[in-house]
Structure 1
Amino acid sequence: MTADDIDPKGTAAELRAALSEGADPVRAEQQRAYLHSDLRHLGVGVPDMRRSVTRTRRALGARPAPYVLALARELWSAPEPAGPPVYEYRWAAVELLVQYARTLDATHLPDVEAVLRECRTWALVDPLAVHCAGVIALRDPAAGTVLDRWATDTDVWLRRAALLALLPGIRTGRPDPGRLTRYADALVDEREFFICKALGWVLRETSVRDPEFVVAWVERHGTRVAPLTRKEALRRLPPGPSGPPDRPERPVAP
């Protein structure tokens, strides 16, 4: 049997079985409570999840985008005889898209968007936005028009994804200051926690290489900037007129 003969349905079933073997009911309840999730949780840990998906990817080898997307859909929409979908199966779909991100281009972002609209949690949105959509955007300029649409969408998770998709460019020294300015200006009045946090996160990462950009943006918008956004944006900058307070603060996750 060649790689081209491998059925995504069978591969998805094998991966689901492998994940189910790592179920931990205690951790499952902790995860569900932490994420305020209404999905069914198996309690698979991060290392085990990544190992399982990586093992599947290595067994499959290089695969064309249609196969990757079909496999991700099988995992994401895995039927359950009763009850809600399984979080880990959806998490595996996201991890698969992340690991195969370089196989995808801007024409595949509608498929990514369809998943983003159903994520409903930062734990699935963030890796998909940063390590899949962001990787695509860095390689394919045509992705920009899709991100622009996401940035003004009524879905809070798509707006967050548009912001976070800028991170790979920022981190590799290939930022898009024009797009960041447009998004930040458009979202400055938002008070939704997940948008304020994401905007502050992106600005904080920008401040590593371009602190002047961040300080100028914060000062230009003044009190319109949400306190959370301001705090996160200036966290890595020295104290100053727009800088963080003099007291040290423990780092927090984005």
Structure 2
Amino acid sequence: MNNGSVTDPLTLAHEVDAGLRAEARPERAASEKAYLKSHLRHYGTSVPAIRSTVRRTVGVEGLNHDDLRTLVAALWAMPVHECRVAAVELLASYVHLLSTDDVDLLERLLRESRTWALVDGLAANVVGPLVERAPGMGPVLDRWAVDADHWIRRAALLALLVPLRQGAGDFDRFGRYADAMLAEKEFFIRKAIGWVLRDTGRRRPDLVYAWLLPRASRASGVTVREAVKPLSDAQRAAILAARKPT
């Protein structure tokens, strides 16, 4: 496929699977499955090996939009963690082919992921670039931010991560979502808020400080510990002091 041939996507899916199995590490598989509390089969193939297998088997050119969807769906249908990671990597490599018409697919994959190891890549590296170029994604994120599924809410936050990390992005939108979620008990929401604040703060610490200080008493320890890492000593001390009961 990487030479421009028109290999059937379903055949490609089986070739990717075979490549992933060839890189399997059974000793890694058992520990990773337990760590992720996964219901899927695990080969123990590392993420770098997954990426190289995808590049070697599929390449980064040659798929059209429909073939991409077919290949991703076929890989996802295999009850194997590494095949699903490969599907995420493919979507990230071919994200330029995606549009708001593909939200149905992306949302289905997010809902079926049930782990940060799949949700985070889908949100930051697939949904995120689509949000940046498609204004119609705003209402989608608004809906996700209040979804009953905490993985979908996490995806709404992390879809905004990469531009904010780069010193750009829509901090106002993130701030609205995060403010509404600050009181949540779910660890993966608390961690995501802190993560985005931490990465935003590396370039714009004053922005993060101004947002977090009046909310410090409502923010969880997980969120605050991440968020204050790039801040100055004075800013960090002020936020920690604001968390103490008066």
For normalisation by structure 1, the TM-score amounts to 0.87
Retained in 1: the 8 A contact 2:12–2:58?
no
Report what 2:171 is aligned to.
177
Report what 2:21 is aligned to.
20
Report what 1:73 is aligned to.
73
Report what 1:63 is aligned to.
63
Report what 1:30 is aligned to.
31
The 2-side partners of 1:164 and 1:208 are apart by: 16
Report what 1:82 is aligned to.
none
Retained in 1: the 8 A contact 2:5–2:62?
no
**What do residues 130-176 of structure 1 show as CA deviations (whole Å, max 9, x unaligned)?**
11111111222221211111111111111111101101221333210
**Amino acid of the residue matched to residue 112 of structure 1?**
L
2:136 aligned with 1:135: no
Q: Any residues of structure 2 matched to 1:159-178 within 5 Å, and which?
A: 159-178=153-172
**Amino acid of the residue matched to residue 162 of structure 2?**
P
Which deviates more, 193-202 or 162-171? 162-171
**Amino acid of the residue matched to residue 16 of structure 1?**
D
**Amino acid of the residue matched to residue 209 of structure 1?**
R
**Amino acid of the residue matched to residue 93 of structure 2?**
Q
The 2-side partners of 1:173 and 1:64 are apart by: 32
For normalisation by structure 2, the TM-score amounts to 0.90
Retained in 2: the 8 A contact 1:119–1:125?
yes
Retained in 2: the 8 A contact 1:163–1:199?
yes
The 1-side partners of 2:200 and 2:35 are apart by: 29
Deviation at 1:3? 5.3
**Amino acid of the residue matched to residue 26 of structure 2?**
P
Q: Any residues of structure 2 matched to 1:67-106 within 5 Å, and which?
A: 67-78=67-78, 85-106=79-100
Deviation at 1:90? 1.3
Deviation at 1:65? 2.0
Report what 1:192 is aligned to.
186
Report what 1:110 is aligned to.
104
Moved over 6 A (4+): none
Report what 1:248 is aligned to.
none
Deviation at 1:5? 4.3
**Amino acid of the residue matched to residue 21 of structure 1?**
A
In structure 2, stretches of 5+ residues that fail to align are 241-246
Instruction: Flag the 1:240–1:111 CA change in 2: closer, same or farther, 3 A.
Output: same
Q: Secondary structure in 1 aligned to 2:216?
A: helix
Indicate the RMSD between aligned Cα atoms, in angstroms. Answer: 2.0
Report what 2:55 is aligned to.
54
**What do residues 15-47 of structure 1 show as CA deviations (whole Å, max 9, x unaligned)?**
111111122211111211221222111111122
The 2-side partners of 1:149 and 1:198 are apart by: 18
Q: Secondary structure in 2 aligned to 1:235?
A: coil
Percentage of matched positions with identical amino acids: 45
Retained in 2: the 8 A contact 1:219–1:242?
no
Deviation at 1:207? 1.1
Retained in 2: the 8 A contact 1:218–1:242?
no
Report what 1:11 is aligned to.
12
**Amino acid of the residue matched to residue 69 of structure 2?**
L
In structure 1, stretches of 5+ residues that fail to align are 79-84, 246-254
**Amino acid of the residue matched to residue 147 of structure 2?**
D
